[in-house]
A and B are shown apart, each in its own frame.
Chain A
Amino acid sequence: MAETAATEAFGQGTESRRGFLTILTGAASAVAAGAVLWPLVDALNPDAQSESRARMVVNVADIAENTAKTVQWNGLPIYIRKLTAQQIAAAQAVVTDTLPDPADFTARVNAAYQNYVVVVGLNTGITCALEGNDPSDPRGDYDGWLCPCDGSQYDALGRVRSGPATKNLAIPRFTFINAAQIRLG
């Protein structure tokens, strides 16, 4: 009893023994509550399958020149097109200032893999899947993609060239893992 009184007399607020015990109990309780509640929070994070779908790996080695393949990613049609040397030269020669939505060659392709164009294959005017992946498809006047719904035309890099649409095709977030594979997301 005398000891308690002495402690009370010497220590003020959190400096006393009781204050220390209070902090210790509070800290332990906070850790315990956090450990109990964390699984409930974590359960709402995307599961492994959703994570892997959101970070999809696509094989691009099997794409023939001058054609594109379509993959569904996050609900979007992604067009991955392999350019010919001729198309690369033609695209580099375009004077970008004259375009409706100016963007130069380096802004549209990966510097290390210049022959691949990766775009979201939806018209930027009214939303509509574009035609022109296969060389036999109608591609418009610029050897790119044509919108069957409003007639907007895009070139091989996905830049808008004519039609109601005024914006270039969106480029999804992607990285080249190696020359044969890209990862979307």
Chain B
Amino acid sequence: MTTETKQIPCLGALCACLCAPVHKPEGKYLDTLPGLTAILLAFLTLSGLVLAVYYDPWHAFASVGFIGHEVNNGWLVQAYHATGATALFGLVYLYLFRAMLTRGYRAPGELVWGLGVKLMAVLLLVGWLGFVLTGGAAAYWSLFKASNGALALSGAAGAIGGWFFGGPAGSGTLARLELFHAVLAVGAMAVLWLLFAARRAVVPRAEPGQGVAFFPYYLAQYLVALAVFALIFSVLAFFTPHLGQPAVNALPADPLTLPLGTVLPWYLLPLAGIAQALPGIWGGILGVVGALAVLAALPWLDRSGPAGAKGGLYCVFTWVLAADVIGLGITAAARNYPQASLLLVLFTFWYFFHFLVLTPFVTAIEAK
């Protein structure tokens, strides 16, 4: 940081902020997860802008094929965007799971935790919209079910659904969903920015004289984390560009023929499993909203208090919950065996049981 840069006012303020020795040393590499998420969101925005140049919602499937076959490096931009979505949910799920394991959601981190859950909720919607935009058979099936379900509702819910989808699923539906996809992605960035601000407000600062500056200490840490992330991303993008995407989505949509195996991308599966386990449209909606609500309510369901001991038993139950969520996803993906419905109900029951019963009791007992 030379004197020249300090003479430019905004750069000077930035330098002062980056060079202020206020951070505690020995930060964890996984603390970089929100930072990596921000970088990845910017990258997804760039690749999404390029795709939007050629994407035509009125001929969605054909234009996706055109991008892959005709546009210079279009296949790579598609792989960037699809793998970006996979990596984004990988980062967000890992971030939330780590906060559950380390119990970082407890006071004063409730707001950070709530914003993390909100970020995941917005990104799930953005991810679903992006999946629907591909216009393939699985995407059409999902849109068809969602829009028909929304229109079948009565009262205000049906009116909101009608406004969102603009009537039954057709070519014009994708034109508006493309816009919602982009706007909500910007909304996700705003939520992430709030998360950064909330985290900065509660993160413990170093004692005077014992802290280190972001530049160069934590910048180096970020670069190492980014390099590791980029390696994983490259392997996924180049070896499995369609990871977690249903294969039938490579078929064009035919409203009169819905092929078997029409499932969602991997990151939507656990929530879809909860929605499928509960009866009716309202059951599905309440299941999704409830699953996110109990997750957001975790700081208050945990009865151990801000300074309470971190018990081993609750840690085990958190790992069990992770297995439960993975089980939900796997079962929702492969529903063609008779026990699947029962398994979905069991996994869903355990999910809510974990948050509403186990969490308050086990944490209260362990805090004693």
Interface size class for chain A?
10 to 19
Q: Is the CB of A39 within 8 A of B76?
A: yes
Query: Which B residues, 29 to 86, have Cβ-Cβ distances below 8 Å to chain A?
Result: 43, 46-47, 50, 53, 70-74, 76-77, 80
Top 10 A-B pairs, shortest CB-CB distance? A39-B73, A39-B76, A47-B70, A42-B72, A43-B50, A42-B73, A43-B77, A40-B50, A43-B73, A45-B72
Q: Is the CB of A48 within 8 A of B70?
A: yes
Q: Is the CB of A44 within 8 A of B76?
A: no
Whether, in the assembled complex, A4 has its beta carbon less than 8 Å from a beta carbon of chain B, the answer is: no
Contact with B along A63-99 (1 / 0, CB 8 A): 0000000000000000000000000000000000000
Interface of A is mostly: helix
Question: How many B residues touch A, CB cutoff 8 Å?
Answer: 15
The residue on B at minimum CB distance from A22 is B216
With A29-B223, A39-B77, A40-B77 in contact, do A47 and B72 touch (Cβ < 8 Å)? yes
Chain A residue numbers with a CB within 8 Å of B77 are: 39-40, 43
The residue on B at minimum CB distance from A29 is B223
Q: Is the CB of B74 within 8 A of A43?
A: yes
Q: Please, could you name 7 A-B residue pairs with CB atoms under 8 Å apart, sorted by A?
A: A36-B43, A39-B80, A40-B80, A42-B72, A43-B73, A43-B77, A47-B70
Q: Is the CB of B71 within 8 A of A43?
A: yes
Whether, in the assembled complex, A6 has its beta carbon less than 8 Å from a beta carbon of chain B, the answer is: no
Chain B residue numbers with a CB within 8 Å of A39 are: 72-73, 76-77, 80
Query: Which A residues, 22 to 37, have Cβ-Cβ distances below 8 Å to chain B?
Result: 25, 29, 32, 36-37
Whether, in the assembled complex, B230 has its beta carbon less than 8 Å from a beta carbon of chain A, the answer is: yes
Whether, in the assembled complex, A49 has its beta carbon less than 8 Å from a beta carbon of chain B, the answer is: yes
Q: How far is the CB of A107 from the nearest CB of chain B, in Å?
A: 38
Q: How far is the CA of A47 from the CA of B63 in the complex (A)?
A: 14
Residue numbers of A with Cβ under 8 A of B are 25, 29, 32, 36-40, 42-45, 47-49
Besides the contacts A42-B72, A43-B50, A44-B53, what 11 more A-B pairs have beta carbons closer than 8 Å? A25-B223, A36-B43, A39-B73, A39-B76, A39-B80, A40-B46, A40-B47, A40-B73, A40-B77, A43-B73, A47-B72
Q: How far is the CB of B106 from the nearest CB of chain A, in Å?
A: 37
The residue on B at minimum CB distance from A51 is B72
Chain A residue numbers with a CB within 8 Å of B223 are: 25, 29
Chain B residue numbers with a CB within 8 Å of A25 are: 223
Q: How far is the CA of A39 from the CA of B72 in the complex (A)?
A: 8
User: Which of A38, A40, A48 counts the most chain B CB atoms within 10 A?
Assistant: A40
Q: How far is the CB of A168 from the nearest CB of chain B, in Å?
A: 38
Q: How far is the CA of A38 from the CA of B72 in the complex (A)?
A: 11
Q: How far is the CB of A105 from the nearest CB of chain B, in Å?
A: 43
The residue on A at minimum CB distance from B49 is A40
Q: How far is the CB of B217 from the nearest CB of chain A, in Å?
A: 14
Q: How far is the CA of A40 from the CA of B70 in the complex (A)?
A: 14
User: Which of B47, B72, B223 counts the most chain A CB atoms within 10 A?
Assistant: B72
Q: How far is the CA of A55 from the CA of B312 in the complex (A)?
A: 71
Q: How far is the CA of A36 from the CA of B80 in the complex (A)?
A: 9
Chain A residue numbers with a CB within 8 Å of B50 are: 40, 43-44
Chain A residue numbers with a CB within 8 Å of B76 are: 39
Chain B residue numbers with a CB within 8 Å of A49 are: 70
Q: How far is the CB of B157 from the nearest CB of chain A, in Å?
A: 40
Q: How far is the CB of B76 from the nearest CB of chain A, in Å?
A: 5
